[in-house]
Structure 1
Amino acid sequence: MSTTLAPQQERPLYAIGIVLFTYFFFTLCDTAAKWLVLSGIPPLETAFMRYLVQLAFMAGLTLPRAGLSAFRTQRPVQQVARALALLGMTAFNFFAVLYLPLTITSTIMFGIPLLITALSVPFLGEQVGWRRWTAVVVGFTGILIIVQPWGAEFHWAVIFSLCCTLSGSIYYIFTRKLAKTETTVSMQLYGGLVGAVLLLPFAAANWVWPDAFWTWVAFFGVGLAAMTGHQIAIIAHRFAPASTLAPFGYTQIIWMSLSSWLIFAQPPDIWLFVGAPIVVGSGLYIWLRERKLAKATVRPVTTADADLPVEEKAAVKPQPA
């Protein structure tokens, strides 16, 4: 595995083709995490294993050949900030899946493109126009329909999913920024190292060993699936802007629904079918609006360009782990 930065190229069809596999592996990660926490493995231990396996696997592949130079980075602060955002995304999500169906947690995370639009103002200094602000409000209305905070079945663990979405938005902003100057290997190594080191004391304090075959599979699989998914996502971002890849993140709801239904016997309820199209539609509108406005960046900026996007802010769906 090369530790040399691969130049960014424009190969959108290739990027779309490989990024579809990202969401399959993210679904495997979430499925393994839910299996572990339901089997009695603490969520923070599950998150620790996710990062430990990633770190061990990447270190084993790269350090024998590249040594510590694999950790070389031009932006150490942003590398750590990205790793912390990923850690928050993972930890919050693993607590959420203990109490909520995968269909709920994944659909709430479809709010990431909406949050990235909102966060582009403080993080990237962008001015967001009224059309995209309207899409953000409509999208979060869809999330409210799904989680039903006014209903008797509302579960407080939704707060974990919302925090996961916030962390994920920050993570994807940093991923696109770092993809310009940092190697895939360095981002994987920093992500695994920061997560494993910070979670170690919490995991060790209440360690529980798996006691069944499939639990052992999930114990190591949670890290391998997450690492593979993020590896593919980073590579895909080198061949296409995030704004091109964004709509394909919504395919993850198919995998999540199948996993939730077939493995955990938790089929989607009626409110998911009502709210999810609203969330997805809002995200797609933002994507279409930004693609349209991006064409205007070739001409001089004027006061009429207040709604122009910064490409690096464009959203891509993620999911955890």
Structure 2
Amino acid sequence: MPQTRPLWLILAPAIFLILWSAGFAVAKIGLQYAPPMTLLALRFGLVILIMAVMFLVLRPPLPETAADWLHLAIVGVLIQTVYFGFCYMGFVNGIAAGTLALIMALQPIVVALIAPRWSGEQIGWRQWGGLVLALSGTAVVIVARLDIGPAPLLGFLFSALALGGIVMGSLWEKRFGRYHHPVTANLIGYGAGFICLLPFLAAQGVGPVEWNMPFIWVLAYLVIGNSLIAIGLLLAMIRAGEVAKVSALLFLVPPLAALVAWVALSEKMPPLAWVGLVLAGAGVYIATRKHKGTAP
């Protein structure tokens, strides 16, 4: 008899998409007030502080084996240091928020190509059709609102490295991840990410930070909205479902990121882009829905 999914898991995709999509514009605003590695160091440091306090209060169990510690650390480095670090470097090297979101939308395609060999999942024609439709809609959204020339080559290189980080982090979590208390998992993951960030911070130097209310709000959003809630939901959804289907949800991020950028950064949102938004949403629905009778 199939089990009823908890309410938080039903709402998780919508909450994750909103928080994650807005993060592109919010991060770009934050980089107006602090260099990328400095912003990331502040973000990770605050998350670690919050997790450490919660750990002392809740006393959750620690991983039982060295392998569990290692896997949590690897996922933390791939998603925190590699993905976020190179995303921020892409921003400061000329990549627009919409362009970066489009590059990150390639993640489900790459995951779907690797998943059968990596985690044993089978990708059906319906998933492939939904992925292609969602990618097409995403491309329409981004292309419709591009009114400037291509970003510098270095920016694209950093974006490609960020894509590699989020792809490998998702696949590693799916294959090797086990259930751990969220506080424990976050504390270890962000701790490993912060440690691996230090050499880059030392090389770049701790730049000046313009402390004002906009930057404080940005930092609060990145710490609580992105680093704690969104990442936690992403990893929980990966554990609860097939990695390729979960990753397909990220196809909605580029059009929603464009919408947030239109509101927050006054970036253009032409009528054709709304058509792409509908196409991307339809593709995600096709790729992620289950037939009646399919086991959960």
TM-score (norm 2): 0.74
Q: Which amino acid aligns with 2:219?
A: F
1:164 maps to 2:165: no
The residue that corresponds to 1:110 in the other structure is 105
Of stretches 10-19 and 208-217 in structure 1, the one that deviates more from structure 2 is: 10-19
- For residue 75 of structure 1, give the secondary structure of its aligned residue in structure 2: helix
Between the aligned partners of 2:132 and 2:260, the Cα distance in structure 1 is 30
Residue identity opposite 1:170 in structure 2: M
Residue 305 of structure 1 corresponds to which residue in structure 2?
none
Q: CA deviation at 1:254?
A: 5.5
Provide closer, same or farther for how the CA distance between residues 244 and 237 of structure 1 changes in structure 2, counting only shifts above 3 A. same
Q: How does 1:151-230 map to 2 (within 5 A)?
A: 153-156=149-152, 157-177=155-175, 180-204=178-202, 205-225=205-225, 226-230=227-231
SS at match of 2:179: coil
Residue 306 of structure 1: aligned partner: none
CA distance in 2, matches of 1:141, 1:257: 15
Aligned residue pairs: how many?
A: 283
Measure, in 1, the Cα distance between the counterparts of 2:143 and 2:127: 23
- Which runs of 5 or more structure 2 residues have no equivalent in the other structure? none
Alignment match, 1:308: none
CA positional deviation for 1:18 = 3.0
Pairwise mapping of residues 79-158 of structure 1 onto structure 2 (< 5 A)?
79-86=72-79, 87-98=81-92, 99-124=94-119, 146=142, 153-156=149-152, 157-158=155-156
Structure 2 equivalent of residue 18 of structure 1: 12
Deviation at 1:180, TM superposition (A): 3.9
CA–CA distance in structure 2, aligned partners of residues 22 and 75 of structure 1:
25
* CA distance in 1: counterparts of 2:54 and 2:40, whole angstroms: 22
What is the aligned partner in structure 2 of residue 318 from structure 1? none
* 1:44–1:270 CA distance, 2 compared to 1 (3 A): farther
Residue 236 (structure 1) shift: 4.6
CA 134–18 in structure 1, closer or farther in 2 if over 3 Å, else same: closer
The answer to whether the Cα contact below 8 Å between 1:26 and 1:229 also exists between their aligned partners in 2 is yes
Q: Which deviations, in whole Å up to 9, do the C-alpha atoms of 1:149-195 show, x marking residues without a partner?
A: xx981113234333323321222223344554333222211221011
1:36 to 30, 35, 38: 30
- For 2:237 and 2:139, locate their aligned partners in 1 and report how far apart those are by CA, in whole Å: 32
C-alpha contact (below 8 Å) 1:179/1:237 kept by paired residues: no
Is 1:53 the counterpart of 2:53? The answer is no
**Pair 188,227 (structure 1): closer, same or farther in 2 beyond 3 Å:** same
Task: Kindly provide the amino acid, as one letter, of the partner of residue 151 in structure 2.
Answer: H
133-142 vs 228-237, which moves further = 133-142
The verdict on how the C-alpha distance between 1:257 and 1:51 changes in structure 2, with shifts beyond 3 A counting, is: same
Distance 1:19 1:153 in 2: 34
Letter in 2 for 1:27: S
- Report the Cα distance in structure 2 between the residues aligned to 1:81 and 1:221, rounded to whole angstroms: 25
Distance in structure 2 (CA, Å) of the matches to 1:137 and 1:246 = 13
Secondary structure of the equivalent of 1:81? helix
Structure 1 residues 62 and 229: CA distance shift in structure 2, 3 A: same
Distance in 2 separating the partners of 1:141 and 1:18: 25
Per-residue deviation, 1:58:
0.8
